[in-house]
């Protein structure tokens, strides 16, 4: 693929040691007005790696948009080498509608590399492939859980790719899910085109959550420091644990859930994780974890139909759980990891498992 220069965007030059706001032409809206993709190119004085940081590929996942706004206004570091391309909203058309999807109801994150003659979604993917991925040596793409769910922070990366593995470890998230990503996703396409890209999955749609911001900013700064692009040293983080298999546990009956586990919590095989009850209190179903592991995502919506997702478990062998529990016990109460687990646990009402009457 032809590699366009970082210092020239169409007719617009970006000088070393400067920041430039650029709007790339995407297409036209129904009213015939042009739709543009806003981005900030930030070049250090010295040459070095070029990376993108993007958010809202799913237009309602704006926790990362808040993160990139912070990077633009108050980065907290000096960029000493290379360049960053900051994309606060990639799916600019879905974002306008508070929607995950493009207006043709396609998922932009399944449309890469796209095509110049395809649908509007395919054309936007093509623009990102030729203008962003082609200029970059690495990428960090920020996501949240889908609507009515929340995620415990996890980095997703193809750990067989040395560049992705390096970034994922440098980020400093406790949990790494080793997956290459779905076909047509931004990160899979970028990685295959020689731009190793990882994603952060955390929090909810339609919000900028304080601890998401803190997690994402720490991770991005750590990656940039690791690559020698800033004047900072990486912040020391817990050793990450890598999982390669996850499973959604689904409701078997219609009802109203009571959750017994919180995001980030360890579970044993056959542990009761939710009670599904009718509106007048009669239990309809007890939902158990099919595996030992950690809760990386859960529904925030207690009303369920059969098949609705309840809890997302990252599978961890039981023998490793006790090791991880010990590592948690060593974490300081003020650490981001502990505060994150406490914050997510208060976001949804969690009740202890009721004692059986004698």
Q: Which residues bind Zn ion (CB under 5 A)?
A: 58, 61, 143
Nearest distance from C-beta of residue 58 to Zn ion, angstroms: 4
* Nearest CB to Zn ion, comparing residues 58 and 135: 58
CA distance 144 to 193: 24
DSSP 88: S
Nearest distance from C-beta of residue 110 to Zn ion, angstroms: 11
Residue 138 to residues 56, 135, 165, 188, Cα–Cα distance (Å): 18, 9, 12, 12
* Nearest CB to Zn ion, comparing residues 63 and 126: 63
Count the neighbouring beta carbons within 10 Å of the beta carbon of residue 86.
22
DSSP string, 99-119: -SS-TTS--GGGSTT--TTS-
* Nearest CB to Zn ion, comparing residues 144 and 289: 144
* Nearest CB to Zn ion, comparing residues 58 and 221: 58
CA distance 55 to 65: 6
* Nearest CB to Zn ion, comparing residues 141 and 285: 141
- Name the helix (H) or strand (E) containing 181: none
Nearest distance from C-beta of residue 355 to Zn ion, angstroms: 40
* Nearest CB to Zn ion, comparing residues 147 and 286: 147
For CA atoms 299, 249, 323, 213, the dihedral sign is negative
* Nearest CB to Zn ion, comparing residues 106 and 143: 143
Nearest distance from C-beta of residue 171 to Zn ion, angstroms: 17
CA distance 132 to 130: 6
Cα of 310 vs its chain's centroid, Å: 20
Nearest distance from C-beta of residue 143 to Zn ion, angstroms: 3
CB–CB of 83/66 below 8 Å? Answer: no
Nearest distance from C-beta of residue 61 to Zn ion, angstroms: 5
CA distance 83 to 53: 11
């Amino acid at each position: 693929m032809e590699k366009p220069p970082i210092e020239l965007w169409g007719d617009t030059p970006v000088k070393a040691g400067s920041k430039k706001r650029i709007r790339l032409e995407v297409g036209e809206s129904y009213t015939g007005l042009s739709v543009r993709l806003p981005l900030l190119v930030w070049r250090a004085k010295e040459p070095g790696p070029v990376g993108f940081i993007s958010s809202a590929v799913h237009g309602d996942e704006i926790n990362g948009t808040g993160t990139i706004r912070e990077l633009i206004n108050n980065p907290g570091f000096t960029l000493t080498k290379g360049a960053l391309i900051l994309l606060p909203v990639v799916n600019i058309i879905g974002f306008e509608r508070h929607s995950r999807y493009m207006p043709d109801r396609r998922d932009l994150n399944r449309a890469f590399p796209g095509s110049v003659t395809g649908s509007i979604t395919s054309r936007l993917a093509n623009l990102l492939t030729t203008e962003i991925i082609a200029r970059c040596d690495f990428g960090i793409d920020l996501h949240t859980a889908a609507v009515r769910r929340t995620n415990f922070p996890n980095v997703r990366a193809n750990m067989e790719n040395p560049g992705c593995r390096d970034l994922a470890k440098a980020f400093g998230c406790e949990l790494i899910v080793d997956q290459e990503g779905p076909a047509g996703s931004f990160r899979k396409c970028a990685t295959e085109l020689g731009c190793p890209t990882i994603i952060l999955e955390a929090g909810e749609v339609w919000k900028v959550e304080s601890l998401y911001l803190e997690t994402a900013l720490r991770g991005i700064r750590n990656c940039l420091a690791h690559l020698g692009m800033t004047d900072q040293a990486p912040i020391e983080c817990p050793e990450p644990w890598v999982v390669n298999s996850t499973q959604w546990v689904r409701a078997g009956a219609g009802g109203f859930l009571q959750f017994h586990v919180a995001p980030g919590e360890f579970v044993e095989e056959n542990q009761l994780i939710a009670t599904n009850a009718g509106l007048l209190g009669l239990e309809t179903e007890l939902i158990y974890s099919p595996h030992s592991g950690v809760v990386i995502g859960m529904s925030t919506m207690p009303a369920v139909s059969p098949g609705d997702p309840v809890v997302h478990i990252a599978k961890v062998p039981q023998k490793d759980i006790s090791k991880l529990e010990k590592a948690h016990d060593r974490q300081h109460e003020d650490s981001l990891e502990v505060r994150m687990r406490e914050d997510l646990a208060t976001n949804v009402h969690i009740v202890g498992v009721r004692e059986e009457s004698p």
